[in-house]
Amino acid sequence: MTSDPGDSPTRPDVVDRLLGAFDHVLDRVHDSILRPLIIAGRALAFGLIALVATVVLALVLVIGLTRLMNVYLFAGHEWLTYGVLGVIFVVAGMVIWRWRRPVSLKK
Helix/strand/coil percentages in the chain, nearest 5: 80, 0, 20
More confident residue, 32 or 2: 32
Q: Give pairs for 103-106: CB < 8 Å, separation 24+.
A: none
Half-sphere exposure of 3 (CA within 13 A, CB side): 5
Q: How many CB atoms lie within 10 A of CB 81?
A: 19
In tens, the pLDDT along 23-66 reads 999 999 888 888 899 999 999 999 999 999 999 999 999 999 99
**Structural domain spans, the chain:** 15-99
Kindly indicate the confidence band of residue 11, based on its pLDDT and cuts at 50, 70 and 90. low
**Mean pLDDT of all residues in 76-98:** 93
The residue length of the chain stands at 107
